[in-house]
Each structure stands twice: as C-alpha cells, then as structure tokens.
C-alpha cells in the first residue's frame, strides 16, 4: 500500500482543526442569547458586566504590551475607537433588552442581520453588488416581516423586542463599519481594550439612569455572568478572529449564520422556548437570504468588512 504524502496528512489535520474550531466558535456565540435570557439580572447590567469583565480579561496584555500605543491614541484615532464603543453600547443595550421581550430565536436572528445593514450602507454610498446580494437582502428582510407578523399575533411586547433587536443589528453594523476604520491605526488588543472599556462606562451610566442595579446578585448569577463573558465575549471572539486570519471571511461568514439555529436549539434546552413553526419558517428565510448575501458578495468588488460576532 502506497503511503500518503506528508502534505496530504498536514492538510487533513488542518481541515479537522478548522472544523473543530468552527464548531467551538458557533457553540460559544450560540450560547450568548440563551444564557442571557436565563440570567435573573437586569438586561443593561448583563450588558455592562459582559464588557467590564471582557475589559478586565484583556487589560494585562493591553497595559503591559501596548502601553506606548495606548498613550499615542489621541485625536481622530481615539475618536473612532470611542465611537465604536458607543455604538457597541447601543447594540448590547437594545439586544440584551430584546431578550426579555421576545424569543431568543427571533432576537438572535434579527440581530444577525448585521451584515445586511452593512451592505445597505454601502449601497447608499453608491457601491454596487450583484443580483444575488440584492435578492438575499430582500429575502432576509422578508423573513423579518414573517417573524414580526407571527410575534404580533403573540403580543405587542414580542414585537417591541423584535424592534429592539433590529436596532441592535443596525448598531452592530455601525460598529463593524466604524471599527474597520479604527483598526487601520490601532492593534486588535488596543482597540478591543479601549472599545470594551468605553462601552462598559456608557452601559454603567445607562444602568444608573434606568435604575438597574449592578450588584447584589446571588452567587449563581455571578457564575452565569462569568460564563456568558467566557463563552461569547472571549472564546467566540478569539476563535473567529483566528479563523478570519487563517481561513478567510467567506467561511467565517457562513459559519456565523449557524448561530441562528444554534441559539434556537440551545434556547429550547436552557430556557424551554419553542417558537411557533411559522416563526421558524421565517427564521429559515432570513438565514437563506443572508447566505445569498454572503455568497454574492464574494464576487462583488465592494466587499464589506467581516468582524468577529459582537453578540
């Protein structure tokens, strides 16, 4: 039997490793919605602690390795990073709150329209995309109408949650657009540290204004906050940032679409939410539309930036 060349074995091992990392990344980000829905903590406080704990986790590396860059981050460069932190705060405030009003499946699917909003922004700027991208956008937003129509039959509260998730997706798109410019002059560590930190400060102020307490929770809730931060905020970001560098944006974009069914399945297990069949059909239409956008933009000259998930 002729032995296979070493190069074939290396490619096989890299392929297996990539699939494992994709699985870990998808599960990590899919846990975000269900775990936050399960937490008995005010939504703005959840958003604050996610970013505050995330900032604390990367602070040692930022302060020791990027001290000179942090000091030099002034003027327009600092303004872009702070603007990213501001829209990230809007994203978390609206999306986490939406989880208290509508189902995890609906909120996750609608907020995952982030890429669609980025493409819409580029269309408004006069950039052109192929027919598949435009058809995908139409399909994705048609799916939103289906889901919102189903939620309207359930309660106006659920529709309000859908609306907040929609705003959360727009804010995530703004974070992507602004962040892609900010990262041109700042390292990932510096950008993330300042962005998460400023986001946490704004969310703390929002908690004070809204009267949502930042402490006094049972030990189990603190453990849940740590788990939320460790999975979606740190593990999910780290895995997908690595895959962006090693495999490219197309595979990562397609993998991120799996967050929608992943979150729906995990929500059924963790918080016992089972959306109506019609709503699931709407979610499927949204995912199909986003898949068309991802596939279509691969052949377009105007390729929107791809970021690790912010949820």
Domain ranges of the chain: 24-297
User: Does the pLDDT of residue 122 top 80, yes or no?
Assistant: yes
User: Does the pLDDT of residue 148 top 90, yes or no?
Assistant: no
- How confident is the model at residue 303, as a pLDDT? 46
Confidence of residue 298 (pLDDT cuts 50, 70, 90): low
> Which residue matches tokens 């096989």?
12
Mean pLDDT of 35-64: 96
Contacts with 112 (C-beta within 8 Å, 6 or more apart), sequence order: 169, 256, 257, 259, 260, 286, 290, 311
- How confident is the model at residue 6, as a pLDDT? 53
- How confident is the model at residue 4, as a pLDDT? 54
- Range 59-71 burial, b when 16+ CB lie within 10 A, else e: eeebeeebeebbe
Mean pLDDT of 247-269: 83
Mean pLDDT of 116-128: 85
Give the whole-angstrom CA distance, residue 71 versus residue 57: 20
- How confident is the model at residue 167, as a pLDDT? 96
Mean pLDDT of 263-277: 90
- How confident is the model at residue 292, as a pLDDT? 87
Coil, strand or helix at 218? coil
User: Does the pLDDT of residue 301 top 50, yes or no?
Assistant: no
Confidence of residue 179 (pLDDT cuts 50, 70, 90): confident
Query: Can you state the percent helix, strand and coil of the chain, rounding each to 5?
Result: 80, 0, 20
Q: Which DSSP state fits 5?
A: P
- How confident is the model at residue 277, as a pLDDT? 85
Maximum alpha-carbon separation in the chain: 73
- How confident is the model at residue 248, as a pLDDT? 66
**What is the average pLDDT score of the chain?**
87
Contacts with 145 (C-beta within 8 Å, 6 or more apart), sequence order: 282
User: Does the pLDDT of residue 227 top 90, yes or no?
Assistant: yes
- Tell me the pLDDT tens digit for each residue of 239-254: 887 777 677 666 777 7
- Tell me the pLDDT tens digit for each residue of 61-118: 999 999 999 999 888 889 999 999 999 999 999 999 999 999 999 999 899 888 888 8
- Tell me the pLDDT tens digit for each residue of 201-215: 999 999 999 999 999
Q: Report residue 194: phi and psi, to 5°.
A: -70, -40
């Amino acid at each position: 039997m002729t032995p296979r060349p070493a190069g074939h074995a290396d490619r096989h091992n890299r392929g297996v490793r990539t699939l494992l990392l994709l699985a870990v990344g998808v599960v990590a980000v899919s846990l975000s919605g269900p775990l936050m829905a399960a937490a008995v903590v005010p939504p703005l406080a959840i958003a604050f602690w996610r970013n505050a704990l995330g900032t604390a986790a990367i602070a040692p590396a930022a302060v020791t390795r990027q001290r000179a860059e942090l000091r030099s981050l002034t003027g327009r460069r600092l303004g872009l990073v702070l603007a990213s932190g501001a829209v990230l705060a809007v994203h978390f405030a609206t999306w986490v709150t939406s989880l208290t009003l509508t189902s995890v499946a609906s909120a996750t699917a609608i907020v995952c329209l982030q890429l669609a909003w980025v493409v819409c922004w580029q269309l408004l700027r006069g950039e052109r995309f192929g027919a598949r991208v435009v058809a995908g956008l139409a399909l994705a937003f048609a799916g939103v109408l289906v889901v919102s129509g189903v939620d309207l039959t359930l309660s106006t509260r659920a529709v309000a949650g859908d609306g907040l998730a929609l705003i959360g997706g727009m804010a995530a798109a703004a974070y992507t657009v602004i962040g892609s410019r900010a990262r041109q002059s700042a390292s990932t560590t510096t950008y993330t540290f300042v962005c998460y930190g400023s986001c946490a400060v704004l969310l703390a102020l929002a908690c004070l204004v809204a009267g949502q307490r930042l402490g006094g929770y049972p030990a189990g809730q603190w453990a849940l906050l740590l788990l939320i931060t460790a999975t979606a905020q740190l593990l999910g970001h780290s895995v997908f940032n690595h895959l962006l560098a090693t495999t490219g944006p197309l595979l990562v974009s397609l993998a991120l679409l799996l967050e929608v069914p992943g979150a729906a399945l995990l929500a059924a297990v963790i918080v016992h939410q089972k959306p109506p069949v019609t709503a699931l059909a709407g979610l499927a239409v949204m995912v199909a539309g986003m898949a068309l956008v991802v596939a279509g933009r691969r052949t377009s000259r105007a390729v929107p930036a791809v970021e690790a998930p912010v949820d």
